[in-house]
Amino acid sequence: MKADILVVGGGLVGSSIALYLMRHPRAGRVVVIEPDPTYALASTPRASGGFRRLFSSPENIRMSQYSIGFFNDFEREVAVDGVAPGLQIKRQGYLFVAEPEFLPVLEENYRTQSALGVNVQLLDGDALKRKFPSLETGDIGAAAYSPDDGWLDPNSLLQGIRKKAVALGAQYVQDRVVGIVSDSNLARGVDLESGGRIDADVVVNAAGAWASQVSDMAGMRLPVFPMRRFDHYFECNVPVEPLPYVKDMARLAMRPEGRGFTAGVPNWNEPRGFNFDVDHGYFENVVWPAIAHRVPSFEAVKLKSSWSGLYDQNALDTNMILGPWVNGLPNFYVAAGFSGHGLMHAPAVGRAMAELICEGRYQTLDLSAMGYQRIIDQIPYPERGII
């Protein structure tokens, strides 16, 4: 088999790249390799589904702005024969809360966001308490509130984008890449676990938490590692007002979900690796104290379920790595290391990668700062908002 462009990984990022490639007149034949079409262990279906514009870097803000526009117009963007899955979008807002020492960062981010047209409000503790009476605000120096942001159903997003890519002509192959075929100058294709080989003019590594394994096959060092994270669904019998998606600098993240709430507190000391086991003591020991502090009514909750997923964590700066392998194989591209931003930025990444591959440069949004050169130089480009 021969592909013009071969994408390794058919999750949300890989499928978004395939979708935008199929919309480009120069893409040619696009083949996507995905080992598990059920996505049983993929990161997207296990994600919380949040989308927000509350970032520090202009690139991340602008990518969110584009992607949220895509979500808002999802039915038209992905409809096949007039049918598209519903995203179940909840626009209840995003709220970043910060202790006093983080106030300068929050204020600087607020200025950047406002300058780029984000609808964001900077609230002190008293104003926050009036808006959301259930929150504990005594330790809060300030909060940034974006009322237009929210969350959606991750699996519907993935399935809609994948089906549209297929409808436009992308070919999905159920197999696993076990080798990158190359000569001294270029990537030439991939070897598959089934024993087959697919030749390709361009190879794109969009393998998420598995991206470093794929890059290793080409000899490319990629500082992207799988990091386990937990989500927990719980219910509370004490009524609280409709809350936004709440994040604080202690990394607590929680939002309403159906009759209850989901919450998580990432452990940044978590050993990197492919571990899907659930630590059933983590909620009681770590998450419950955090949610009960922020919402005192959550002192009395009932945990209903817990599950684990993986971040594709960029160890250098927690920002995505996009573009060709600089000083390596120039037709071997990477889109990985999203560190929890993949869902909300996937459509923008799909557009950017299609431009970069087919046109040779970014056309609509310059994402050069996210390129591999900073990995070579070991110069981080960190996101200074809440990850």
Q: What residue ranges do the domains of the chain occupy?
A: 2-82+153-223+316-377, 94-149+226-310
Intrachain domains 2-82+153-223+316-377 and 94-149+226-310 with the same fold: no
pTM (2 decimals)? 0.96
Across the range 357-364, mean pLDDT stands at 97
Architecture of the domain made up of 2-82+153-223+316-377: 3-Layer(bba) Sandwich (3.50)
Q: Percentage of the chain surpassing pLDDT 90?
A: 93
pLDDT of 269 higher than 60? yes
Give the pLDDT confidence of 278-333 residue by residue, as tens digits. Answer: 999 999 999 999 999 999 999 999 999 999 999 999 999 999 999 999 999 999 99
What pLDDT score was predicted for residue 359? 97
Q: Which one is the CATH code of 94-149+226-310: 3.40.50.1980, 3.30.390.30, 3.30.9.10, 3.40.190.290? A: 3.30.9.10
pLDDT of 387 higher than 80? no
Per-residue pLDDT band for 252 (boundaries 50, 70, 90) equals very high
Closest CA to 236 of 289, 295, 293, 297: 297
Average pLDDT, the chain: 96
Per-residue pLDDT band for 4 (boundaries 50, 70, 90) equals very high
Give the pLDDT confidence of 335-345 residue by residue, as tens digits. Answer: 999 999 999 99
Give the pLDDT confidence of 182-218 residue by residue, as tens digits. Answer: 998 999 999 999 999 999 999 999 999 999 999 999 9
What pLDDT score was predicted for residue 386? 64
pLDDT of 384 higher than 90? no
Looking at per-residue pLDDT, the higher value among 99 and 298 belongs to 298
Give the pLDDT confidence of 132-169 residue by residue, as tens digits. Answer: 999 999 999 999 999 999 999 999 999 999 999 999 99
Give the pLDDT confidence of 6-38 residue by residue, as tens digits. Answer: 999 999 999 999 999 999 999 999 999 999 999
Q: Percentage of the chain surpassing pLDDT 70?
A: 99
